[in-house]
Amino acid sequence: MIEEELIKIWQSSPNQERVKFEKSRLMIDVQSSMDHFHKKIKYRDVQELIGVAIVIPAFAYIAYSIPYMLSKIASLLIITWAIYIAIQLRNARKHKPGAFTESYLEYLHKTREYLRVQKHLLDSVIYWYILPGFGLVSLFLAGFLGVPGKIGYIIKMTVGNAVLAVTVFFLNKRAVNKEIIPRLAKVDQLIALLEKP
């Protein structure tokens, strides 16, 4: 009964009131969606930074203790790559908008920019994450080529490394299509509504 009355009131209201209602509904939807997105990004960043915190001391020890020069060099390069990953994530996080420092329209413009930065980060993951990681791990494994009985191990690790690389690539593409593009569309729609005279 109450729902039917609300629908009748909404239908009988002038177009200007309907637009205001549509704007406020869309604002709430965008804000809720972005809050959820920020949590996911924070969780992803924490996971990656934990990985970096494990990789750096582990490969520092390996570089110190392993006798194979090619693997020593690869270990040091892996440490450099891990630091680079941390820097990439920090640079992307710098674009996160502050909710209370500007007008809502400015917040939306910054949110759109933040989403675009995250999209670019995931779209380019093959260049700064997958290929360097695959190449450096392969270089590390190549250091063991002269060791008797290690060929089977090297082949298994290389195949596992390739499967991991392909999986990471497709998971990132899926995240762009499922998480970022729909949010960008909603933010663009809301910006267009708010900028209408």
User: Is 53 within 8 Å of 83 (Cβ atoms)?
Assistant: no
Residues whose CB falls within 8 Å of the CB of residue 121, separated by 6 or more in sequence, listed in order? 88, 92
pLDDT recorded at residue 22? 62
Q: Which domain holds residue 128?
A: 19-93+102-195
Question: Taking the model in full, what pTM does it have?
Answer: 0.81
The residue with greater pLDDT, 52 or 18, is: 52
Task: Report yes or no on 154 lying in a domain.
Answer: yes
Task: Report yes or no on 11 lying in a domain.
Answer: no
The residue with greater pLDDT, 32 or 83, is: 83
The residue with greater pLDDT, 153 or 101, is: 153
* Token pair listed for 92: 């992307």
pLDDT recorded at residue 116? 96
Task: Report yes or no on 12 lying in a domain.
Answer: no
Question: What is the total count of domains within the chain?
Answer: 1
Query: Which pLDDT band, with edges at 50, 70 and 90, does 19 fall under?
Result: very low
- pLDDT > 80? residue 25: no
Task: Report yes or no on 72 lying in a domain.
Answer: yes
Mean pLDDT of 141-151: 89
**Residue with token string 């700064």:** 128
Task: Report yes or no on 64 lying in a domain.
Answer: yes
Q: How far apart are CA 56 and CA 112, in angstroms?
A: 34
- pLDDT > 70? residue 29: yes
- pLDDT > 60? residue 53: yes
pLDDT recorded at residue 17? 47
Indicate the average pLDDT of the chain.
87
Task: Report yes or no on 32 lying in a domain.
Answer: yes
Query: Which pLDDT band, with edges at 50, 70 and 90, does 10 fall under?
Result: very low
pLDDT tens digits for 172-181?
Answer: 999 999 999 9
User: Is 105 within 8 Å of 191 (Cβ atoms)?
Assistant: yes
Task: Report yes or no on 68 lying in a domain.
Answer: yes
Task: Report yes or no on 1 lying in a domain.
Answer: no
- pLDDT > 90? residue 99: no
